[in-house]
Chains A and B, each alone.
Chain A
Amino acid sequence: MNGPIRKVTIFVSLLLAALLVNTTWISVVRTDSLNNDTRNRRVRDAEFSRNRGAILVGNEPIAESVPRSGRFPFVRTYPDGELWSSVTGWYSYDYGRSGLEQSFNQQLAGTSSEQSFARVIDLLTGRQSSGANVQTTLNPAAQKAAVDALGDKRGAVVAMNYETGEILSLVSTPTYDPNLLATVDLGEAQRAWSELLNADDEPLKGRATREVYPPGSTFKLITAAAALEDGMVPDTMVDAPDSLPLPNSSRSMGNSTNCGGDRVTIQQAMQTSCNTAFGNLGLELGADKMTQMAEAFGFNQDPTVDIAAAKSRFPGELDEAQTALTAIGQYDVAASPLQMVQVVAAIANDGRMMKPYLVSTVTNRDLTVLSSTSPQEQSRPVSESTAELLRQMMVATVEDGTGTPAQISGVTIGGKTGTAQTAPDRPPYAWFVGYAEDPKVAIVAFVEDADVARDDISGGKLAAPIFRKVLEALR
């Protein structure tokens, strides 16, 4: 009988080997995906109970973990939650994270690979591990001005130092109080969540970076840039009829403002935000050049900012009619406010687009620097001379064009208004993008539910004052 017993023994050892191999498989292959699963309560509880690092503006924390007693030893608090919610995002037990809480989660929680050495030291010395602090580039005055200026309107403001790419203000309104979601009273958090989620004005939307909207006439900056790069000059004459019939279609493009003649210079067209002139420019340049320019400015590219952001869209495979429409920022063009401020910043910075960033340094609690960001040139969408000509046109627009509401005496300001209509039954979007030479800052003001007439002047009237208030706060 020993022969079969030996064979059975071999069979049994194969069974046990299978168990061991499978256990190895679990620890090597499956562990990461299981630990990253949002439903893994063990990981969630542990993270929620950690002493997370603070998010700082200057020396003031805008998000910090405060010790308490009970099931969770720390509670995440936001000293001025409403003001900074667009930046910090929320941090909750049941509803995940957003904003910087999400994009710097590992550093804040102390679980990133750079911190593994510190974790080992903590383990050996018996210290409670804690996360790193995140230092932002934001400017409290500008942030406050932006929130106040937007008031109860749905909209967004992004202000950026165009020489470095530091984001000085990032606001999406309506704001909300992240404390409501971060509370350890999970039932309370649940109520707050459903209230915020179902609110009519959708406060949880990240309008500044995570949503894309038709940029309207602000996109004419890119059309103008393509024209100048193609060898035209601001004095080049363009046809500006009252109505431009779109090729191969029954529709035609109209003007919402007075262009000041049947043939105007590009600069005049910019000042008056003349649709038909830019439509003609788009037809003249063709879809390929338009697409090239839009993509050089960052459309259809993955966002490089250190917070969750959406890709801005420039449609492909355009026929002539669509090309004319995209040239004035309609049809399927969609940009986030952050994308538009990057366009202006590149123009203001001699055609050099800087990588936008919110976080300047990440420091451990013992003040050793984990990582720091230095200004970094991202691309050169236009040449220096083109940028200069564009600035000249933008300054003219503010001095004597649709952008006059943005004027501040004694400051050189260039800008462009935009009023984008999407559907006849909803109010148009109001845009104003612009820059100042002192302080060196590019700002976009965007209002989603502009209750104004559908022309650029009124769009400028609504958005430009917001721009101005933020700029004044930065001076």
Chain B
Amino acid sequence: MSEQVQPAVSDEVIVYRKRRGVELLLLLLAQSFGFAGWIITDLNLYGELPSNLIVVACIWYGMGVAAHLVVRFLLPYADPIILPCVFLLNGLGLAMIYRIDQIPEPIKDDSMTQLIWTGLGLILFAAVIIVLRDHRRLQRYPYLMFIGGLFLLLLPLMPGIGHASGGAQIWIRVAGFSFQPAEIAKIMLAIAFAAYFYEKREVLALAGRRFLGIELPRARDLGPIMIMWGASLAVMVFQNDLGTSLLFFGLFTVMIYIATERPAWPILAGTLFIGAALAAYKFTNHVPRRVNAWLDPFSDYDKNLQIISAQFGFAWGGLFGRGWGLGRPGLTPLAKSDMIAAALGEEIGVLGLMAIIMVYGLLIARGFKTALTAPDGFGKLLAAGLSFVFALQVFAIIGGVTRLLPLTGLTTPFMSQGGSSLIANWIIIGILMVISHRARMPQAATAAPQEVGDLEAHTAVISR
């Protein structure tokens, strides 16, 4: 988009179908997966239906209907597939957490906490929709967002409130609540990048020096890249978290590439990141351990118990899984959070896990579709960035659990136990829905976005 060519204003108006009814049906279907998982767990473990079946059904389906109503009245043109996908994933996550709760004596009630967090996430989702109404408002404070995001990202390094778990220092603990600020930083930085790059895209795309056939940007524009690179490096080295650092750096790189349309950026950034990763492998203890656990887990059975146990779970589950409540997911440490994909793979099988990957794929695809159809550059960038973050996160964590890559401490979006991740992801979905509503609103076929009211004098309607 270095050259903004405005199409001629025509009288044609593109009208997407709203498809809200379809969304509701899909939503109820999608919610039933998690709900059924919960019921089957009880049937398999105790041979009877859960005692609070009606109450839970009302709450669970009520949540879905409430979310749907908010969308129906406030964002009538939003994408109808996104919400069902999210509810499907969230429901399966809840059911699996409930199932793992049943293992210890006495049984735990983490799934209840997770349900409350889901409710909170939904409230924030609704709040985003109600308050925001138009995503372009987010464009106003790029620098504030950037500084805030970086601050949150590096917050766990502050002495006193940061605390480490499982080797990675990505939590803060305030008043007994632990929270992963990186999850919120994810959103703020995505907004900041989108705004900043959209504004500066011309400058960044200016050809600098050519090097090996790659047009490098000017040295002064390398500043932001270097800051971000430094921050990612700090996360990797000081917080011991390869996953988070990869996530932010990837987000940054992809957004700058989309804004400038210059392949030089991702190539440069990728080189820098690979260099940093190699250095981390050389000079930290944490990274080589993870890499070794990935390449040869059986070399140190006790240390790599988690990943080995996950592999055993997949093998034991086989193609169709053991069934809800019939596997042994509790044998894997952190089965509810980091390894929930392994627990699902064990109980609903490799096929179930593949289906889950496909649902993620569908969600990500709808996100990119939103980016493609969004009328304004900022919306495009933001939607693409947020979708890419989802994609990268799913790739990193499911890839880690299935030993495609080294295991990182990322959460599985919408599934892992953990409030911060759930809330942040629901907020992201809220933003995506707002952009998607803007993108699918009826408008004249021009590049200039306009309100519905401006479209009184249309002559032809093209349905898509």
Which residues of A are at the interface with B, using a C-beta cutoff of 8 A? Answer: 1-6, 8-9, 12-13, 15-16, 18-20, 22-24, 26-27, 30-32, 34-35, 37, 39-43, 45-46
- CB pairs A–B below 8 angstroms (21 shown): A1-B258, A1-B261, A3-B261, A5-B368, A8-B384, A8-B388, A15-B395, A16-B361, A16-B391, A19-B395, A19-B398, A19-B404, A23-B350, A23-B357, A31-B318, A34-B312, A34-B316, A39-B301, A40-B316, A42-B331, A43-B316
Question: A4–B377 Cα gap in the complex (Å)?
Answer: 13
List residues of B (377-420) whose CB comes within 8 Å of A's CBs: 377, 380-381, 384, 387-388, 391-392, 394-395, 398-399, 402-404
B353 touches A23 (CB 8 A): yes
Distance between B442 CB and nearest chain A CB, rounded to angstroms: 20
A267 to chain B, nearest CB (A): 60
**For residue B192, which residues in chain A have a CB less than 8 angstroms away from its CB?**
none
Complex contacts, B395 vs chain A, CB 8 Å: 15-16, 18-19
Residue contact A15 to B315, C-beta cutoff 8 Å:
no
Report the interface size for chain B: residues with CB under 8 A from the other chain: 47
Chain B residues near A32: list those with CB within 8 A: 315
* 5 smallest beta-carbon distances between A and B, as pairs: A34-B315, A42-B316, A27-B350, A22-B404, A12-B391
Q: B261 contacts A4, CB within 8 Å? A: yes
Residues of chain B within 8 A of A1, CB atoms compared: 1, 258-259, 261, 377, 380-381, 384
Given A20-B354, A27-B350, the answer on whether A5 and B371 have CB atoms closer than 8 Å is yes
Asked if residues A8 and B254 are in contact (CB atoms below 8 Å), the reply is: yes
Is B314 interfacial (CB 8 A cutoff)?
yes
Provided the pairs A20-B357, A35-B316 are in contact, do residues A8 and B399 lie with their beta carbons within 8 angstroms?
no
B contact residues around A26 at 8 Å (CB): 311, 314-315, 350, 402-403
Distance in angstroms between the alpha carbons of A41 and B316 in the assembled complex: 10
**Contacts A9-B368, A41-B331, A42-B331 given: A4-B257 contact, CB under 8 Å?**
yes
B313 near A: Cβ within 8 Å? Answer: yes
**From residue A4, how far is it (CB to closest CB) to chain B in Å?**
4
A161 to B392, CA, bound (A): 69
Contact with A along B246-277 (1 / 0, CB 8 A): 00000000100111010000000000000000
Chain A residues within an 8 Å CB radius of B360? 16
In the assembled complex, B67 has its CB within 8 A of some CB on chain A: no
Closest residue to B327 on the A side, CB-wise? A42
Which residues does chain B contribute within 8 Å of A6, judged by CB atoms?
Answer: 372
Chain B contact residues: helix, strand, loop or mixed: helix
* A40→B315 contact, CB < 8 A: yes
B47 CB, nearest partner CB in chain A, Å? 12
Q: Is the beta-carbon distance between B380 and A34 smaller than 8 angstroms?
A: no
Q: A3: nearest residue on chain B (CB-CB)?
A: B261
Given contacts A19-B399, A31-B315, A41-B328, contact A4 B258 (CB under 8 A): yes
- The residues of B that contact A8 with a CB separation of less than 8 Å are 254, 257-258, 368, 384, 388
CA distance A188 to B380 in the complex (A): 66
* Bound complex: CA A16 to CA B395 (Å): 7
346-388 of chain B: CB within 8 A of chain A: 350, 353-354, 357-358, 360-361, 364-365, 368, 371-372, 377, 380-381, 384, 387-388
Question: A44 → chain B, closest Cβ, in Å?
Answer: 10
In the docked arrangement, what's the CA distance between A30 and B319, Å? 12
Q: Chain A residues with Cβ under 8 A from B345's Cβ? A: 23
B145-177 residues with Cβ-Cβ distance < 8 A to A are none
Give the docked Cα–Cα distance between A219 and B113 (Å): 76
Q: How far is the CB of B307 from chain A (nearest CB, A)?
A: 12
Q: Which of B319, B353, B372, B404 has the most CB of A within 10 A?
A: B404
Which residues of B in the span 273-317 have a Cβ within 8 Å of any Cβ on A? 301, 308, 311-316
Q: By the criterion CB–CB under 8 Å, are A41 and B312 in contact?
A: yes
Closest to B369 in A: A9
Residues of B within 8 A of A18 (CB): 395, 399, 404
Other contacts beyond A8-B384, A19-B398: 17, CB < 8 A? A1-B1, A1-B384, A4-B257, A8-B257, A19-B404, A22-B399, A22-B402, A22-B404, A24-B350, A26-B311, A26-B315, A26-B402, A26-B403, A41-B328, A42-B312, A42-B328, A45-B328
Most buried by B among A23, A26, A30, A41: A23
* Inter-chain contact B316/A16, CB cutoff 8 Å: no
What chain A residues lie within 8 Å of B311 (beta carbons)?
26, 30, 34
Distance (Å) between the CB of A272 and the closest chain B CB?
58
